[in-house]
Structure 1
Amino acid sequence: MKIQGKMFLWLSAFLLLVAVVYGLWSREPVGTTALFLAFGLSVMVGFYLAFTARRVDAMAQDDKEGEVADEAGEVGFFSPHSWQPLSLGIGGSLMFLGVVFDWWLMFFAFPMLLIGLWGWIYEYYRGENQNQ
């Protein structure tokens, strides 16, 4: 995590330099503001990663002679089959289409989003996957 923190802090220094040069050269407020906001976001992420790196053990990417296989192992649990993202995708699509075309599509979007979200949260609390 030390490497990622340093990368983001170097990126923030670069973005600050680009924002100042762009602001003075173009005198365009929207792009300058966007670059300064990107600088702020990069500083926040870099500071968080650098701060967190002091509290956790050294990881494989912190070892200069580390191998890719050093990080091998279980990453986490990922559901092998779930229909809930399909419902969330349909509901999200309908919601954005409602913003584009007309707000009455929200009446179809919200139930689809709620069904998908409810099903995804409680997917492993019922049926054959229920904890005993």
Structure 2
Amino acid sequence: MKIQGKMFIWLSIFILAMAIVYGVWSKEPAGTTALFLAFGLSIMIGYYLAFTAKRVDAMAQDDKEADVADEAGDVGFFSPHSWQPLSLAIGGAFAFLGVAMGWWLLYFSAPLILIGLFGWVFEYYRGENQNQ
């Protein structure tokens, strides 16, 4: 974690330098503001990672002699063959398209989003994936 904190802090210094150069050179307020905001976000992330690295044990990425397999382990649980994200993606696409083209598309997207959310929340309460 220490190396990520240092990387973000160095990145924030670079972004700050580029924001100053861009602001002086272009005199364009929107891009300059965006770069200063990016500096603020990267310095916050870098500070958090550097601060947290002091409180946690050293990880394999902090050891220069570590192998790639030293951090191996469970990544997490992922739903097998779930169709619910597809329903949410189509419903979300229609919703955002409704903002751009016409609010009437929300009548088609809302049921797809609700079906997807309901199915995703309750997919382990029934059927073959039911937990005993």
Given the two structures, how large is their TM-score scaled by the length of structure 2?
0.93
TM superposition shift of 1:41: 0.9
TM superposition shift of 1:120: 1.4
Could you give the per-residue CA deviations for residues 3-53 of structure 1, whole angstroms, max 9, x where no partner exists?
A: 111111110011011101110111110110010011011011111211222
Matched letter for residue 114 of structure 1: L
Unaligned runs of 5+ in 2: none
Please identify, of 46-55 and 56-65, the stretch whose mean Cα deviation from structure 2 is larger.
46-55
Q: Partners in 2 of 1:52 and 1:121 — Cα distance? A: 33
TM superposition shift of 1:128: 2.9
Could you give the per-residue CA deviations for residues 68-111 of structure 1, whole angstroms, max 9, x where no partner exists?
A: 11112221111221000110111011011101110010111112
Unaligned runs of 5+ in 1: none
The corresponding residue for 1:83 is 83
Q: Partners in 2 of 1:122 and 1:52 — Cα distance? A: 36
Q: CA RMSD in A?
A: 1.2
Matched letter for residue 76 of structure 2: G
The corresponding residue for 2:43 is 43
- Counting aligned pairs with the same residue, the percent is 76
Q: Partners in 2 of 1:121 and 1:63 — Cα distance? A: 40
Aligned length: 132
The corresponding residue for 1:13 is 13
Give runs of aligned pairs for residues 1-132 of structure 1, distance below 5 A. 1-132=1-132
Q: Partners in 2 of 1:47 and 1:122 — Cα distance? A: 39
Given the two structures, how large is their TM-score scaled by the length of structure 1?
0.93
Q: Partners in 1 of 2:28 and 2:119 — Cα distance? A: 47
